[in-house]
A and B are shown apart, each in its own frame.
Chain A
Amino acid sequence: MELRPLNVSSKSKYKTYELFIGPNHPGIEGNFSYVLDMDGHKVAQVTPDPGLLHRGFEKLMERRLWTQNLALIPRICVPEPDINEVAYCMGVEHLAGIEVPKRAQYIRVIVLELARMGAFLFGFGGLGGATGLYTAPNWAFGDRDYILDLFEWLTGGRVYHIYQYPGGVKNDIPEGWLDKLSELLDYFESRLPEYDKLIFKNPIIQRRTKGVGYLSAEDAIENGITGPNLRASGVKWDIRKAQPYLVYDELDFDIPITGDGDAFARALQRRYEMAESIKILRQCIKQIPDGPHRVKIPNPFQFRVPAGAYYSKVESSKGEFGYYLVSNGDVKPYRVYVRGPSYSVSLFYAQKAMVGMRIEDVPVWIHTMDICPPDFDR
């Protein structure tokens, strides 16, 4: 796909016109824009315009201590910051040969799954926002606040938690927290049918999303698409099952597959996975063992990670989220690379997929594909 300078229409000046989806636009999440060349109401050409969100995280990490980075990395991704912390800590622990206590691993799974649920609620809301069903985002963000309340109780922070630490988690679970979590899961189970009625059984939502933005399994694999979007195209691949990390191999859960590959399937996939997350959390509440929540690491100012490189990955709400850590045995990382799940789809596949689409399908495609600007611009 050839790149061209912005603001210059490729064909005749009067045949097409430019429409900006972003950087300040209700149809896109974050500071990123798609410049659409429109032919009538159809998209003729798509030019992604990243760069507005660039904060230089990967370079900043090279200048900070291994433990200092923990305060920095959650800020990469707002909807689901915990994946950063867990993936980074898992990489550091692997390089340093630290064995994490079982209890800490369970706590990590609980935090990850709660964050996943929060991100899925963002997903429901995004679909509502894109199609004009504003009750959906308001309900979803309201329900997400209950998750944030629990996070605040556990970690002290609502959005950015800075809770993971090489060797475990910073604090143990407070007394009564698991009971409250159990109550919250009951509440979410009672809410899911309401979301079904409002969103997924809504005839106009079905009309607006079915058959829109079809993604075949071959295209998905070719473009490095992972997570719910890949599973919505019918490929059964989930890192939690395929290459289990933490204690996911001790938990019993299914990988739902919708398989139609269109926008409706992608939205429905998230709905099903939310139910699975509730199931996982219920098991964690039952199975979590007693014991230490953390093993002590040496003085953080002198914490040297042995030389080596490791790629640690977790299954996020958007797909495979990974940290490639390179250490030369110093107190700071030598190089850190972050793999965002929507990197390839946002910048490259979008240029192919959106051509021929209508304006009203563009935000639906963006939201169901979970285009997240921090994945490629950080």
Chain B
Amino acid sequence: MIVLLKLIQGIGAGALSISIGLLFVGIGRKITARIHRRYGPPFVQNFIDLFKLLSKKSISHGFTFDLGLIAGFSALLAAVVFLPMGQINIFPHNSSLIMILYLMTMAYLGMAMGVSSSGNPNATVGIARALTLTMGYEVPFAAVIFSVYLFAHTGSLTNIVAAQSGGFMNWNLVKLPFGFVAAEIALQGMLGEAPFDMAIAPAEIASGPMVEMGGKYLGFGMLQHSIGLFLETGIMVDLFLGGGSNVWIFVIKQFELYFLALLVNAIFPRFKIEDGVSFMWKVPLLLGIVQALIVVL
């Protein structure tokens, strides 16, 4: 009975992450459009696009292509289930941050396996850049997580959120400010927003990984992007903004982070890949190490 209940809750969490992620992207497109001085598409456009794409006939590039995309999608879906979202916390005793990060990396590797098997050099170059950038932002993010661990003496997101309860002054944002800035820069890389959008550079490699995706596959790509967006901003909210007393507060805090990412995205072009990685290994990593030292000393 408990298994069934957890299953239903898990499906609910997945559906929530997909709809919130799509909504974020829709509102984000509107905000970006206003910065660009244009009107922008309606904010439900992403839902319309998704339904259209999922109802289309699609061309597969073989078993590995399908498997890679599904593996990436399901890894992200599995990661969302372990994320505490306000009062929704499906596995309160198992919300290990390490496991969530592991599943997120699985998603990237699944995607890499899928798109590389399509045989298009644009996709291969794109995914090579994405994995290189992963190496770039995971190092400072690991440093940040290290300092959060040292500070909270726990690796469970549930406990980290609980430790921050009781108002703004208890948030890790206030207590670990350098760590927050470092994680925020790493988040920009995770979300793939400028200046770290070199993996999907349209003018260089024709949108990279999704170049061979069409129809249902592109729909799955959109789903993966929206879950990823929800998950990455969700981890940040749990780590630094004290989670949320209920799910709506949690979502509003997530949106604030996404909004900040959009503003940065609007005014920067993209780095070259080596500049992006070296920036990640300099500025946020240094901030992360400084934060860890402050916590230790």
Contact = CB atoms under 8 A, between A and B. Distances in A.
Nearest to A131: B269
Given A19-B121, A139-B37, A133 B268 contact: yes
Contacts of A363: 203-204
B206 interface: yes
Contacts of B273: 360
A135 B266 contact: yes
Interface string B195-209: 101100111111100
A207 interface: yes
A19 B269 contact: no
Interface centre among B38, B195, B207 (most CB of A within 10 A): B195
B36 A139 contact: yes
A27 B203 CA distance: 4
A17 interface: yes
B275 interface: yes
Give the interface size class of chain A.
20 to 34
B56 interface: no
A17 B204 CA distance: 15
B272 interface: yes
Nearest to B265: A134
B70 interface: no
B296 interface: no
Give the interface size class of chain B.
20 to 34
Contacts of B125: 19, 41, 359
Given A26-B206, A207-B275, A132 B266 contact: no
A202 interface: yes
Given A18-B121, A19-B121, A139-B36, A359 B269 contact: no
A65 interface: no
A198 interface: yes
A142 B32 CA distance: 15
B35 interface: yes
Interface of B: 32, 35-38, 121-122, 125, 194-195, 197-198, 201-207, 266-273, 275
Interface of A: 17-19, 25-27, 38, 41, 128-135, 138-139, 142, 198, 202, 204-205, 207-208, 358-360, 362-363
Going nearest first, the 3 A-B pairs with the smallest beta carbon separation are A138-B36, A131-B269, A132-B270
Given A135-B267, A204-B270, A207-B272, 5 more contacts: A25-B203, A27-B202, A133-B269, A204-B195, A362-B204
15 contacts: A27-B203, A41-B125, A134-B32, A134-B36, A135-B35, A139-B36, A202-B269, A204-B270, A207-B271, A207-B272, A208-B269, A359-B205, A360-B201, A360-B272, A360-B273
